[in-house]
Amino acid sequence: MSPLDFDVSKLPSIEDPWGPGSYTPNSLQFNGVPYAPFIKSDKLGKIADWQSAREDEQLSMKNSNLQKKRDQYHAYGASAAKLFGAETEEKGFSLVENAASSAGNKQAVLKGNRKRPFQNANTVKKVPGQTAAPNQVPTIKKKVGSNPSAKKQPIVKNAARWGNNRWGNRWNNEDVKLRDASITVDETWTSVAEIEFNKLTKLNLDVGKPEVLSSNGTIHQYLKKYETNTATPLEPSIKTTFNQTTSNDPNVKSYANKGEAKVFITDAIISQLMCAPRSAASWDVIVTKKGGNIFFDKRESTFHIPVNENSPITDVKESDINHPTKLELEDIEVSNAFVDGSLAKNSVNLGGASPISSTAAIPKGYKYVKFELPNGASTDDDSQGSVSILVRVALDAYTYTASSNVAIHSLLQYESNDWRTKFNGGSQGNIFVDEMKKNNNKLSQWTMQSLLGGLNQIKLGFITRENPKSNAAHLVAGTMTSNVDILCQQLKLSINNGWGIVKSFIDIIEHEGGEEDYRFVIFKTPNSQKIIIYKVPFDSFDF
């Protein structure tokens, strides 16, 4: 029999009080173990309760009564155990700056994980009975780039609204229709990155003032035609707005040939990327590298933002005038009419040639501005270094001089016409607050476009139907002149966060694409708060 490995002679005698003695053998000591004191309410069974964090999340998701859980956040006992657990590393991304953001200019962007390539969502093993791979948009076998919106979508009973809603509103007693995908995901596409919205909101990049390369087109003076105290009939217009994509802009092509920048984009596209976490509807952006230049393009069918984007999608017949497709067309028509009707005959030629040559287009001015995006963090990879980006910004009108430019936009009310009563009663503020809930993404994009163009004011028209049951005639209930800086505060909009998002997309695509020419699709998935980046065949789209 082997001798004992500790000294029994120092054990307490039977005459001593019950309990541990003052001497602890070396073999029984615990070195380097953090001490977490317990309170009287803790149960012995909770000593190793490592599941408490997950149970808290599940209870929170089920909206249970957490107030009944005593001392939920105390720093003792079982609640302290989870503080010592190591956090799981993200598979696809890592934050360059993961410390708490301060008032300083700390940079934070996402970058590709070089040690572990992104998993292709198209090759994920499917579970029996599952129609699509996990976290993957179901593939619809149609022509690449087609819109499957014509296909009738299922109805979800008593479901919360899909998409982003920063006010936390829910519609639990309505039949909510699933949102349509903006583009069909082809089987030949390869998923290289999936980014949740909560990661995008943490990004930050401080960018300096831009360099104005040129001013082009003709800009007209703003006419206060609809700034009256009473509702004014909206005069129809035969002119329209041409949202010419980046690759088709002759001025952009000229700057690309001269090597003025590496990335080229329009204000409509970059504002959608910057405000991506606020979007609820599905959209997509095509990224193409050709001849060393990177172009961000957007297909025409995804340029327009839905009316009342943050409201639930109910099952409406296609013949109904309030069907989403018809509402979008109506919104485009009234917006063009409001902008065209707000332009006086006085105009100023800005010098450079306009990228839009059609006489049917509403005259606009354009500025081509270049920003220098610094590196988000220290890295030895040149692909994630400083990037020059050229942005085409549209100018709607000027107020007093050609240098005092303003943006002109409008909002549409179709379910009622009470805006007229509210404007007469001085309740414009209530109207605007309600629109921030329904169209937060749209208002944020307009504000971001004005920031990029150096504009100080936005002229906003509130248009309502003359009769809610007819979309033939409209009235301008009133107008508001909003300061861009104040709008940023009201919308809690950060341009540094927007630049962090754009730089992250560029870095990820450059890392995955390499030195050769390539084409990617940045896709906002329907019915989820997530961005998926696909690498697609170079001949998938024509611009």
What is the average per-residue pLDDT within 272-282?
Answer: 95
Residue 32 pLDDT exceeds 50: yes
First CA to last CA distance, the chain? 87
Instruction: For 243-253, write each residue's pLDDT tens digit.
Output: 889 999 999 99
Q: Which residues, at least 6 apart from 152, have a Cβ–Cβ distance to it below 8 Å?
A: none
Supply the pTM of this predicted model: 0.71
- DSSP of 497-531: HHHHHHHHHHHHHHHHH-SS-EEEEEEE-TTSSEE
Q: Distance between CA atoms of 159 and 179, rounded to whole angstroms?
A: 13
What is the average per-residue pLDDT within 199-207?
Answer: 94
Contact 156, 178 (CB under 8 A): yes
Residue 310 pLDDT exceeds 90: no
Which residue carries 């069918």 as its tokens? Answer: 301
Q: Distance between CA atoms of 351 and 215, rounded to whole angstroms?
A: 7
What is the average per-residue pLDDT within 334-344?
Answer: 96
Q: Distance between CA atoms of 370 and 349, rounded to whole angstroms?
A: 22
- Collapsing DSSP to helix, strand or coil, 246 comes out as helix
- Collapsing DSSP to helix, strand or coil, 373 comes out as strand
Q: Which residues, at least 6 apart from 215, have a Cβ–Cβ distance to it below 8 Å?
A: 350, 351, 352, 365, 366, 367, 368
- DSSP of 432-454: HHHHHHHSHHHHHHHHHHHHHHT
Instruction: For 383-392, write each residue's pLDDT tens digit.
Output: 456 899 999 9
Distance of alpha carbon 355 from the chain centroid: 28
Enter the tokens of residue 207. Answer: 């960018």
Length of the chain: 543
Q: What is the pLDDT of residue 314?
A: 75
Instruction: For 128-165, write each residue's pLDDT tens digit.
Output: 333 333 334 333 333 344 444 444 444 444 333 334 44
Q: What is the pLDDT of residue 311?
A: 80
What is the average per-residue pLDDT within 472-480?
Answer: 94
Q: Which residues, at least 6 apart from 417, have a Cβ–Cβ distance to it below 8 Å?
A: 464, 465, 466, 467, 468, 475, 477
Q: What is the pLDDT of residue 110?
A: 78
Q: What is the pLDDT of residue 157?
A: 40
CB atoms inside a 10 Å sphere around CB 327: 19
Residue 167 pLDDT exceeds 70: no
What is the average per-residue pLDDT within 198-224?
Answer: 94
CA Rg, the chain, in Å?
Answer: 29
Q: What is the pLDDT of residue 385?
A: 65
Q: Distance between CA atoms of 271 and 134, rounded to whole angstroms?
A: 30
Which pLDDT band, with edges at 50, 70 and 90, does 495 fall under? very high
Q: What is the pLDDT of residue 44?
A: 56
Contact 342, 223 (CB under 8 A): yes
* Cα-based distances in Å from 120 to 192, 194, 467: 6, 10, 51
Contact 291, 534 (CB under 8 A): no
Instruction: For 48-105, write each residue's pLDDT tens digit.
Output: 554 555 555 555 555 444 444 444 434 444 444 444 444 444 444 445 544 444 444 5
Evaluate the CA torsion angle 61, 65, 69, 75 in order and state its sign. Answer: positive
Percentage of the chain with pLDDT > 90?
52
Print burial letters for 462-475: b (CB count within 10 Å at least 16), e (below 16).
Answer: bbbbeeeeebeebb
Task: Indicate the average pLDDT of the chain.
Answer: 78
Enter the tokens of residue 536. Answer: 């697609």
Q: For strand 263-266 and strand 397-398, is the pairing parallel, antiparallel, or unpaired?
A: unpaired
Contact 353, 215 (CB under 8 A): no
Q: What is the pLDDT of residue 43?
A: 58
Evaluate the CA torsion angle 486, 490, 491, 496 in order and state its sign. Answer: positive
Contact 113, 381 (CB under 8 A): no
Percentage of the chain with pLDDT > 70?
67
Q: Distance between CA atoms of 116 and 413, rounded to whole angstroms?
A: 49
The one-letter amino acid code at 436 reads M
